[in-house]
Amino acid sequence: MVDLEGRKPLHTFTQMKNKVMDQKERVKLMDELMTVVQIMDELYQYHPENPKQVDVVSEFKALAERKAEIEAKLG
């Protein structure tokens, strides 16, 4: 069977199921890609090739000092 544009319609259940599964797999892959890119962006803050990289040692020291201040206020 062929439609007016010369295409074979997706008429069997198996074909429709496969198309839906392909779409779901594509959505999963897009979600995973977004997650990977987000993690890469976060890690790049500390990457040696980043000219504006975060100085982990000084950031850790500042956070440790802030932690101690908060703990002192909490008693």
DSSP state letters, 16-35: HHHHHHHHHHHHHHHHHHHH
Position 46 scores a pLDDT of 93
C-alpha pair distances (Å), 17 with each of 12, 20, 33:
9, 5, 24
Position 14 scores a pLDDT of 72
Read off the pLDDT of each residue in 57-73 and give the average, rounded to a whole number.
97
Q: With bands split at pLDDT 50, 70 and 90, how would you rate the model's confidence at 50?
A: very high
Give yes or no for residue 71 having a pLDDT over 60: yes
Read off the pLDDT of each residue in 43-71 and give the average, rounded to a whole number.
95
Residue spans of the domains in the chain: they are 13-74
